[in-house]
Every structure is written in structure tokens, then in C-alpha cells.
């Protein structure tokens, strides 16, 4: 091949996404669909979910079913479904990319599949390919991007475009058009973390909607930049000060990235999870009433993102290492209620939270983001120090959730959303049956 014939990174990504998807890959994708349904159903009842669904009721009807039982056109359905899947901070996660693929990719794939009347096989293939694109982009952006940009949004728009493009059977050139026009819409600023806002939900919804739109327009001939990543005025140059371009196309024939995703067991920011696991183990070793002080050691991003010693909202509680340590030590396995305002104001939780100090551990930072670790050191009233450490969080590949745990999580979330026992059983069976060719309508008909 001549030098000028060498494929660009964007072209190589397109070729990676064109690979065949196996039955095992679809089975994994079906688990992510079930996980998303649980997260989205419960998230739809929160204030952001209520606001988004209230807006959606002002729109015209369409063929695509959403959480909340609305019927909208594909792009609006992608926005609504995309906005509710991450509210409770229990959505799936990819460590190295620091993105949550399911809440963006699945709504885009679900909407486009409904609009086309596509098969469950085609829909799951789209989920696999969309997650691949999103994760690879997330791995390529570099740490500086994450300081200012919500990577699930900025990288998710590419995943949504790839998922919709798979369903639309875009050719190679159209696929590049879709990625180009997705990238030019990449957005999501982290200022929303510093204020009491619902913008994070809008980020996800717009990423799903904008990527879907980019693919649909590409199918009708609207062109986009074919070098959207590597071009001198492209994504990496504009938004990624320390981009890692090789990560976009590394190991092009390797397993699909969906298999390296984590399922989150606890309703809080993923950066708190290794600490939660350590605190749960600590409860078996000490008497909580004897705690004099607590020291949490973590990697840099965990300390930077989750430092709220006096959270004032449920969102801040979910992003508080101090609250996570206190509420878990006092109450055990954390539930949705442990991050609401009742828990935040609980006098016992407040008192223990005030004894927590945070510090960065350079060794944990060096292993991050491939490994999410934490250490919890407790000093007791007699001066004894007890330490619990975690290298990885529950739900990661090194310590995965069992099938029973995954099904139990989905059940808990659907129960919290008001699903009846019979509805939970039907929805669970319908999602898992997608991998065996079960109809997508069996899933969408149960959305409420």
C-alpha cells in the first residue's frame, strides 16, 4: 500500500465497526439492555426524568416507545430515553475510557430499530458497534479532556451515530459522514457538576439524539468530515490537549469492547465504588461506634470529583466519598434511599462524615483508569488502626457481578419504578430473549 493509501484513524475505526457480531456478543448486549431498562425506569421518576417526560408530552406522536409509555419520533425518543438512564448513577461503565456507554448507545439503537421495524439481532449488533465506537473514542481523548468535558456525552455522540448507522446499513463513506457530523456536535461541559443542575441528563439525551440524527442525515447524502478525529481542526485538536490517537484503532481484531464494560452495583458515582466495597468489608471488622477518624485514599480523579464533606443535594451525596464511607459503615449495603436527603441529613451520618479525610495515593493514580482502587483507614478510640484496600471495584472484570446479582439489580430498580412482579418477570424475560431472536416489541410494549 502506498503511503497516501494508508487508512486514516477515522477510516480504520469504520472498518473495525464493520466486523461481524457473534451470538455471544449479542447475549452480552442483551444484558446491557436489561441493565439500562432498570436504570431508566427508576430514573424516569426522578425530578430530571419528570421534567424531560413533561416536555416530551408537548411533542407530536411517533412510532417509537419510550420510558414513561410515550410514543414519539425516533430522534425525540432517543433524547427522552437517553436522558433518564444515568440519573441514579447505576449505569454501565468502561474504566479505561471513563464513559457510560449504555445510557447513550441503547436509546439511539432502540429508537432507530423501532423506526425501521428492525430485528432484535440487528438492534443488538447496533448496540455492540455503538459501544465499540464510544469506548474507543473515550480511550483516545486523554486525561485533559475529562477535566472539562463530560466524556459520556462528547464520546457518546459517536457511539449513537455508529449504532444508528449499523441499523441503517450505511456504506463506508456514509459511515464516515455520520461520524464526521456526530463529532461536530460533540458537547457536554462539566460546569454542571459544580452546580445543582440537570444538565448531565441533557448531555446524554442530546448525545443519543445528535448521533442518531447524524446517521439519518448521512443516509440521505449529507456529508461530514472524514477526518473528524485527526484533522487539524478536528476533535482531538479542538477538545483533547493530550489525545492518545493510537487508542482509537488499537487491537483492531480484538474482542468487542462491550465485554470489558462494568456493571455498577451501587447507586453512586463509580469513583466511590471501591471505597464502598472497602467500607462493607470494614463493617465486619470493627464496631462503628468506636471510630475516632477515617482516612480515605484514592486516585486523583476520585478525590477531585467526589469531595463533598457536607453534600446539600442527592447528586452531591452520590459524588461524595465522605458520605459513601459514613452511610455504608452505618447502614451496610447502600440502597437508593442512602443517597437521598433523608440520609444526607441523618445526624449519625453527618457526624461520621465529618470525621472523614481524603488524600490522593500516587500508586492508585498510576494504576487508574485501568483499575479503580481505594483504601480506607479507620482509627478506633483506643488508637488501633484498621485498613481495608481494594484494587478494583465490584462489577469490574476482575470481580464481576454474578448473573443473579445482575438480575437482582434490575429487579430492585424496576420495583423502585413501580413495576409489578408480573411486569418485572415479563420485562426481564423479554430483554434476555433478544439474544435468541425474541421480538423487540416484547420489550418496548412493557415500557412505562
| Mean of pLDDT over the chain | 96
Residue 71's SS3 state is: strand
The CA distances from residue 183 to 8, 80, 153, 224, 339, in Å, are 16, 21, 11, 9, 35
- Give pLDDT, residue 3: 42
Cα–Cα dist 16/372, whole Å = 28
Angle between helices 172-183 and 199-219 (to 10 degrees): 150
The pLDDT assigned to 5 comes to 61
Which pLDDT value is given to residue 448?
A: 72
pLDDT at 112 exceeding the cut of 80: yes
Q: Is 356 helix (H, G, I), strand (E, B) or coil?
A: strand
Q: What is the CATH number of domain 3-260?
A: 1.10.4100.10
pLDDT of residue 4 exceeding 50: no
What is the spatial distance between Cα 294 and Cα 379, in angstroms, rounded to a whole number? 6
> What is the Cα 158 distance to its own chain's centre?
14
Structural contact between residues 319 and 263, judged by C-beta atoms closer than 8 angstroms: no
Quick one: pLDDT band at residue 6, thresholds 50, 70, 90?
Answer: confident
**Cα dihedral 279→282→287→290 (10° resolution):** -70
Query: DSSP letters along 274-335, please?
Result: HHHHHHHHHHTTS-GGGEEEEEEEE-HHHHHHS--SS--SHHHHHT-HHHHHHHHHHHSS--
- Using N-to-C axis directions, what is the helix angle for 321-331 and 273-283, rounded to 10°? 30
- Angle, helix 120-140 to helix 23-43, in steps of 10 degrees: 80
* Residue 1 pLDDT exceeds 60: no
pLDDT in tens, 318-370: 999 999 999 999 999 999 999 999 999 999 999 999 999 999 999 999 999 99
Judged by DSSP in three states, 185 sits in coil
Query: Rounded to 5 degrees, what are φ and ψ at 400?
Result: -70, 155
Host H or E run for residue 393? none
Q: Give the residue extent of every domain in the chain.
A: 3-260, 270-390
Q: Which of 416, 448, 442 is nearest to 427 (CA)?
A: 442
Neighbours of 163 (CB within 10 A): 38
Buried b (16+ CB within 10 A) or exposed e, 241-262: eebeeebbbeeeeeebbbebbb
Which value, in Å, is the radius of gyration of the alpha carbons in the chain?
A: 22
Q: What's the predicted TM-score (pTM) here? A: 0.95
Taking only the tens place, the pLDDT of each residue in 373-432 is 999 999 999 999 999 999 999 999 999 999 999 999 999 999 999 999 999 999 999 999
- CA 435, CA 128: separation in Å to the nearest integer? 12
The vertex-166 CA angle with 20 and 370, nearest 5°, equals 70
- Per-residue pLDDT tens for 118-168? 999 999 999 999 999 999 999 999 999 999 999 999 999 999 999 999 999
How far the first Cα of the chain sits from its last, in Å, is: 54
Per-residue pLDDT at 230 exceeds 80: yes
CB 135 within 8 A of CB 92: no
- Per-residue pLDDT tens over the stretch 234-258: 999 999 999 999 999 999 999 999 9
CATH number of 270-390: 3.30.1330.120
How many residues are present in the chain? 448
Beta-bridge partner residues of 374: 298, 390
pLDDT higher than threshold 60 for residue 85? yes
Residue 274's nearest CA partner among 365, 189, 146, 372 is 372
Q: What are phi and psi of 295, to 5 degrees?
A: -125, 125
Percent of the chain clearing pLDDT 90 (strictly above):
97
Burial of 426 (0-12, 13-18, 19+ CB in 10 A): middle
Amino acid at each position: 500500500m502506498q503511503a497516501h493509501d494508508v487508512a486514516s484513524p477515522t477510516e480504520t475505526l469504520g472498518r473495525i465497526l464493520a466486523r461481524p457480531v457473534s451470538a455471544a456478543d449479542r447475549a452480552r448486549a442483551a444484558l446491557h439492555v436489561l441493565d439500562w431498562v432498570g436504570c431508566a425506569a427508576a430514573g424516569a421518576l426522578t425530578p430530571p426524568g419528570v421534567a424531560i417526560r413533561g416536555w416530551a408530552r408537548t411533542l407530536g406522536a411517533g412510532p417509537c416507545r419510550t420510558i414513561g409509555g410515550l410514543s414519539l419520533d425516533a430522534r425525540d425518543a432517543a433524547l427522552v430515553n437517553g436522558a433518564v438512564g444515568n440519573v441514579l448513577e447505576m449505569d454501565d461503565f468502561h474504566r479505561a475510557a471513563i464513559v457510560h456507554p449504555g445510557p447513550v448507545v441503547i436509546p439511539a439503537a432502540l429508537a432507530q430499530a423501532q423506526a425501521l421495524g428492525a430485528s432484535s439481532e440487528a438492534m443488538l449488533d447496533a448496540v455492540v458497534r455503538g459501544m465499540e465506537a464510544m469506548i474507543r473514542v473515550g480511550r483516545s481523548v486523554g486525561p485533559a479532556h475529562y477535566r472539562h468535558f463530560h466524556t459520556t456525552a462528547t464520546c457518546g455522540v459517536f457511539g449513537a451515530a455508529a449504532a444508528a448507522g449499523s441499523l441503517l446499513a450505511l456504506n463506508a463513506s456514509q459511515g464516515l459522514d455520520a461520524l464526521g457530523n456526530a463529532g461536530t456536535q460533540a458537547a457536554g461541559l462539566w460546569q454542571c457538576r459544580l452546580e445543582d443542575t440537570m444538565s448531565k441528563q441533557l448531555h446524554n439525551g442530546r448525545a443519543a439524539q445528535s448521533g442518531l440524527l447524524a446517521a439519518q442525515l448521512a443516509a440521505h447524502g449529507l456529508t461530514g468530515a472524514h477526518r473528524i478525529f485527526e484533522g487539524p481542526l478536528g476533535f482531538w485538536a479542538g477538545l483533547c490537549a493530550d489525545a492518545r490517537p493510537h487508542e482509537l484503532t488499537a487491537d483492531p481484531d480484538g474482542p468487542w469492547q462491550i465485554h470489558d464494560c462494568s456493571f455498577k452495583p451501587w447507586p453512586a458515582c463509580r469513583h466511590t465504588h471501591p471505597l464502598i466495597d472497602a467500607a462493607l468489608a470494614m463493617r465486619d471488622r470493627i464496631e462503628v461506634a468506636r471510630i475516632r477518624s477515617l482516612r480515605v485514599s484514592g486516585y486523583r480523579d476520585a478525590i477531585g470529583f467526589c469531595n463533598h464533606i457536607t453534600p446539600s443535594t442527592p447528586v452531591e451525596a452520590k459524588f461524595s466519598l465522605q458520605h459513601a464511607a459514613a452511610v455504608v459503615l452505618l447502614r451496610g449495603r447502600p440502597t437508593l434511599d442512602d443517597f437521598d436527603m433523608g440520609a444526607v441529613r441523618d445526624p449519625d451520618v453527618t457526624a461520621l462524615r465529618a470525621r472523614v479525610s481524603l488524600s490522593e495515593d500516587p500508586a492508585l493514580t498510576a494504576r487508574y483508569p485501568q483499575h479503580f482502587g481505594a483504601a480506607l483507614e479507620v482509627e478506633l478510640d483506643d488508637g488501633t488502626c484498621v485498613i481495608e484496600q481494594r484494587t478494583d471495584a465490584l462489577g469490574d472484570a476482575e470481580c464481576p457481578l454474578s448473573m443473579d446479582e445482575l438480575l437482582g439489580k434490575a429487579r430492585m430498580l424496576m420495583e423502585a419504578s413501580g413495576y409489578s412482579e408480573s411486569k418485572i418477570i415479563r420485562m426481564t424475560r423479554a430483554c434476555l430473549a433478544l439474544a435468541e431472536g425474541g421480538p423487540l416489541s416484547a420489550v418496548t410494549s412493557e415500557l412505562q
